[in-house]
Amino acid sequence: MSLIQDKQLAEISINDLLIPSEKVAHVQLNNPLEHALLVLVKSGYSAVPVLDASYKLVGIIGKTVILNQILGLENFEIEKLSSMKVKEVLNRDIPTLTRENSLLDGLNAVIDHPFICLVDKEGYFDGILTRRAILKEIKKNIYVNSYKKH
Ligand code: 2BA
């Protein structure tokens, strides 16, 4: 990618690309795993954000980690779905961005993650930035730049 395109990516804010918090499926720390699995299966998403009771972001939880937790030596221990809570298994080690970050920051982050959680200054959950939204925006910019050349 040329330096000019790099510069444009650094100038575009992710503010316009985010999925706002009210449209994002999420679960809470104290939910049983059963509820989390239900949200994941019904929404169709592989992973969703986890919030605390005050709607601050804590991490993410996915189907694979839940299924791994309830997998015994020979079969699934289904009763663990109601006895274990989201706070026992979620992944807290996740990158976050804010609305002020650039599209380039977003692009770097979605190389290793299908979506990135956005937070405000106090850590309240603000929405997500998905790989799809980033790729769509970059495609638009590639078209614009190749049109300018011809
Ligand atoms: P995945 O669930 O693994 O989804 C991978 C891709 O499959 C999505 O990429 C999207 O293109 C498509 N997809 C999956 N479920 C879909 C659905 N119910 N409706 C429409 N398309 C669907 P991205 O859109 O880039 O999303 C990346 C990841 O962000 C998703 O990974 C999911 O973990 C999360 N995500 C996206 N939108 C979400 C939302 N509204 N609420 C919670 N999590 C969301």
Going along the chain from its start, the domains and CATH numbers come out as: 3-149 (3.10.580.10)
Please give the residue that has the higher pLDDT: either 91 or 138: 91
The 10 Å CB-count burial string (b at 16+, else e) for 47-73 is bbbbbeeeeebbbbbbeeebeeebeee
Q: Identify the CA nearest to 110 among candidates 2, 21, 37, 9.
A: 9
For residue 67, is pLDDT > 60? yes
For residue 135, give the nearest of 107, 112, 115 by alpha carbon: 107
- Give residue 3's pLDDT: 47
For the whole model, what pTM was predicted? 0.90
Supply the pLDDT for residue 7: 59
Does residue 35 have its Cβ closer than 6 Å to ligand 1? no
Closest Cα to atom 43 of ligand 1: 48
The model's pLDDT over 95-108, given as tens digits with 9 standing for 90+, comes to 999 999 999 999 99
